[in-house]
Structure 1
Amino acid sequence: MNAAPAASPFVFDVTQATFEAEVLQASLQQPVLVDFWATWCGPCKTLGPLLEKLVAEYDGAVRLAKVDCDKEQMLAGMFGIRSIPTVMLVRDGQIVDGFQGALPESALREFLSRHVQPGAAPAEEALAEEAEDYLAETPEETIARLQQAIAGQPDKPELKLDLALAFMRAGNAAAAEAELDALPANLATDDRARRLRGQLDFARALEGAPPMAELEHRLARNPDDHAARDLLGVRLLVEGETAAGLEQFLDILRAQRDWNDGQAKKRLIAAFNVLDDAELVGTYRRKMASLLF
C-alpha cells in the first residue's frame, strides 16, 4: 500500500512544507521522481510498488517523493494534478518529464533510462574513492583496465579515446596514435583527441633525440646551441615539466627569433594548443607577444 511508510532510504513522503527542500533543492544533486497518489486509487496501488522497486534497483541514482493528494490538496493543485496517478521527474529544480496512469514495468524502465543511469547517484565518498583508485594506478594498470572495459563495452568509443590517452601517458606513442587514428569522426575532433594529436607531434620530434642529460650538457658548453635547447624544451613538455619547457622556447626567441624559420614560435603555439592549463597558457602567450611585438 502506498500509505505505508517507505522502508527504502530512496523513497519518502513529501508535503507542501518539505517540497522545496526535499524535491526542488534535492534535485540539484540528483533526479527526483514525484508520485502523486491517493489511498482510494486502484492504479496507484499498482504503480507505487513498481516505482519503489525500480528506484531501489537504481541504488540512489534517483529518489522517489510520494505526495498523498488527499492530504496535500494545495500541493497537488499547484501542479495542476487532475488525474492520478501522475508522476513527474524533477531535475535541477525543473520538471523535465512525466506521465499519467499506471504504466507497465517495461515502460517505466524505458522512462527512467531516458534520464538516469543505474547507480549514477552523486555518492561523493564513492566517487572520491574511485578517483583515488584511478590516481593510484600505474599506467600499465590503467591500460589493462581500459582494455578490459572495451572488451565488455565495444560500442563505447569514448573508452578508446581514454585508452589512447593512457598509452600516451605510458610513453607508448605508437599505440596511442593507432588508437587515435581508429576513433570515429565525432571523437577525432574532441578537445582531448586534439591535444593528444599535438602531444604525438612533440613525441615524434624526439625520435632519435639525445637524452635530457646530454642536451643539458651541450647547453652548459654552449648556451647558443639552439637545436639542443629546442629538443630540451620538447622533452620537458613531454615529461610534464611544462613551464620549464616553454621557457626554453622563449630563450630561443630572445636570442634569435628567426632561428630555423621561427621554430621556437611554432613550438610555443603548438604547445598552447596542447595544454589545458588556461592560466599558464595565458601567461606564456603574453610573454611570447612581448618578445615578438
Structure 2
Amino acid sequence: MDDMSSDSIHRHDAVDLSGLAAAASSADSPVGPAAHVDSATARTWVVEGTEENFNSLLQKSVQHPVLVEFTTPQAHGVKEMESLLRRVTDEAAGKWLLVRVDIDAQPRLAQSLGVKAVPMLVAVIGGQLAPLAQGTIDEQQFRQLTEQVIQAATSAGMVGRAEPVMVEVSSEEPVGPDPRTVEAEKLMDAGKFDEAVAAYDALLASEPNDPVLIAGRNGAALLGRLDGKDPAALLTAAQQRPDDVDAQLAAADVELMGGRPADAFNRIIQVVRSTHDEERETARTRLLDLFEMVGQSAPEVAAARRSLAAVLF
C-alpha cells in the first residue's frame, strides 16, 4: 500500500505489525460490545476488539476500511483522542469501522501483534495493513488520515459500508419482484440489452448506490457484451492473445457466465497486474462491476478483493 505508507501518513515511529495476521484467531464470534452508543439512533461504528472477535473484525476489511486503535487508559491525552475518534467515526456513518483494543484488557493480543507503544492507529484494507499514527492526534489529522484511507479503499474497489452495532430492527423486506426494475427486466427478456442498461442508468441517476440496481445494470451490460458471441471462440482468443486486454475481459465474461467467478476474477487481476494507466483502470473497473454481480458477501469476491489490494498497493 504505497500511498498509505508514504511520508504524508502521520507516524512517529515504525511499528512491527508482522504478527497481525498470525495473531488473529480462527474464531468467528460476532462483533464485540459497543464502545459507544448514540442513544437517539442506538447505532455506533466503534467496537471493542478482543482475542475472540479480532479475526472476524479484520475480515470485514475486504468490504470496507477497518481502523484499529490500540490504546490504554494510562496514556497521556488518550481520553480526549478516543472521544474525537468516536465522534468522527459515528459521523461518518459506516465509511469505516473503528476497532478499539485496550492493551491492558487484551495483553496477549497486544503482545502477539508486536504493539510497543500506544496510542497507535492502524488501517486495514483488503487484509493489507498500514500504520497511520503513533501518539495522540487531533481532529484535523484524523480527518486527513481517514480521507486517505477512503481514497485507497475506493481505488481497491471497496465501496461497501460498515454495519453499525445495535442497529434498530428494520421492517420485513417486501416480497415479490422489485417494481422499479420490472421494465428493465422485460427489456432483458426481449434481448434488448442496451435498452435495459439505459433503463437501469435512468434508475441509478436518482439512486446511484443501490446495490440491486448496480447489479442489474452490470448484468444487462454483460449479457449485451456476450450477445451473439461464441463463448468457446472468446476463450480461445484469450489463450492465443494473452496481452490483449479486450480478449481477456471477454474471456472473463464467459467464465463468470459459466459459473466460474474465481477464474474470471483471477484473469482480470492478472490484467491489472500486467498493465498500466488506462488499460489498468479499464480492467479494474470491469472487475468491480463483476464483484457487484456476484455479490459483495461471496467468498470469491472477498478473496479477489484481497488479491486486488495486494496488486494495487
Q: TM-score range by the shorter chain?
A: 0.3 to 0.5
Structure of higher CA gyration radius: 1
- Structure having the higher helix fraction is 1
Normalised TM-score (structure 2): 0.40
Higher-RCO chain (CA-CA 8 Å, sequence separation at least 6): 2
Normalised TM-score (structure 1): 0.42
